[in-house]
Amino acid sequence: MKNIGIYILFGFLSLQTFAQSKNFIDQPFLETVAEIDTLVVPDRIHLVIILDEEDNRNRKSTEELEASMLRILNSLKIDLEKNLSLLDYSSDFKKYFLSGQKVLKTKMYSLIVNDAKTVGKVMAGLEREEISNVSITKTEYSKSDQLLMDLKAKAISKAKQNAEKMVESINQKIGKAIYISDLKLNQLQGKVAGVQIRGYSSIYGSRAQEDIVIDFEKMKFSTKVKVKFMIE
């Protein structure tokens, strides 16, 4: 008898679940898709600076180049403890000169700055100190997570507005949302796209006398949602 009671209870619960599912399917609803995007200026620019004894006219040592680099970065009020880090240190023992054996040392640094203007100042300052091996490796937007959440909220709001417009013509109203799906996430975070550099003169054998002008293409963030609303 106990087992029969359990079977009856399970049967009742199954019927109730089926009925709820059927009621959900039978409810009139409207499905709509909305997309929102925006453009922002990157505020975390990653640079790589390579100090090489062989890569300068006056054959300055790595230590001299490093001292010059630190002086330039300090003059620009860059937080070196936070934004500068050593990536690699190597020595090439296969280089020989007539004056005897000499070890050529190379150091590679990673530097993070917050705007294009500072990038230009860094590149021009280092260029004047015969440090020209500087490259832009990555751009980021520091508030990307919050930005994407805001875009999703706006996309859902837009989806509701679209749905309300669609049912106006039949004199009905949109009820609560019964389904929300995040369909798309697309942004240029981490990519260097559309960088324009003006005033970088090292390739002509001269030193940059003025700050180098850097223009970054704005980064695109977008989100797309699908929402199903009950029709009242």
* Global confidence as pTM: 0.71
The pLDDT mean for the chain works out to 78
Give every CB contact of residue 24 below 8 A, 6+ residues apart in sequence.
Answer: 178
140/228 Cα distance (integer angstroms): 34
User: 184 has which bridge partners?
Assistant: 224
CATH topology of domain 29-42+142-232: Translation Initiation Factor IF3 (3.30.110)
pLDDT of residue 186: 60
Q: pLDDT band for position 191 (50/70/90)?
A: low
pLDDT of residue 198: 62
Whole-Å CA distances, 135 to 74, 163, 195, 197, 220: 19, 48, 11, 11, 22
116-125, 154-163, 197-206: the lowest-pLDDT one: 197-206
Give the residue, 116 or 5, on which the prediction is more confident.
116
User: 107 has which bridge partners?
Assistant: 51, 89
31/223 Cα distance (integer angstroms): 17
CA atoms within 13 A on the CB side of 134: 26
Retrieve residue 92's tokens: 């090439």
pLDDT tens-digit profile of 62-114? 889 999 999 999 999 999 999 999 986 654 444 444 445 555 578 899 999 99
Give every CB contact of residue 172 below 8 A, 6+ residues apart in sequence.
Answer: 231, 232
CA atoms within 13 A on the CB side of 114: 8
Give the residue, 63 or 199, on which the prediction is more confident.
63
147/38 Cα distance (integer angstroms): 9
Share of the chain above pLDDT 70, in %: 68
| Highest mean pLDDT pick, 18-32, 183-197, 214-228 | 214-228
Whether the per-residue pLDDT at 204 is higher than 80: the answer is no
Which amino acid type is present at position 195?
V
CATH topology of domain 44-140: Alpha-Beta Plaits (3.30.70)
pLDDT of residue 83: 96
pLDDT of residue 217: 86
Percent of residues in the chain assigned helix, strand, coil, to nearest 5: 35, 35, 25
pLDDT tens-digit profile of 10-38? 444 444 444 444 455 578 899 999 999 99
Interior angle at CA 209, CA 205 and CA 214, nearest 5: 95
In the chain, which segments carry CATH 3.30.110.170?
29-42+142-232
Residue range 197-207: mean pLDDT, rounded: 50
Give the residue, 27 or 126, on which the prediction is more confident.
126
Whether the per-residue pLDDT at 228 is higher than 90: the answer is yes
3-class secondary-structure state, position 186? strand
Instruction: Give yes or no for a contact between 139 and 192, defined as CB atoms under 8 angstroms apart.
Output: yes
Whether the per-residue pLDDT at 130 is higher than 90: the answer is no
Instruction: Give yes or no for a contact between 136 and 191, defined as CB atoms under 8 angstroms apart.
Output: no
Give the residue, 101 or 181, on which the prediction is more confident.
181
pLDDT of residue 88: 65
In the chain, which segments carry CATH 3.30.70.120?
44-140
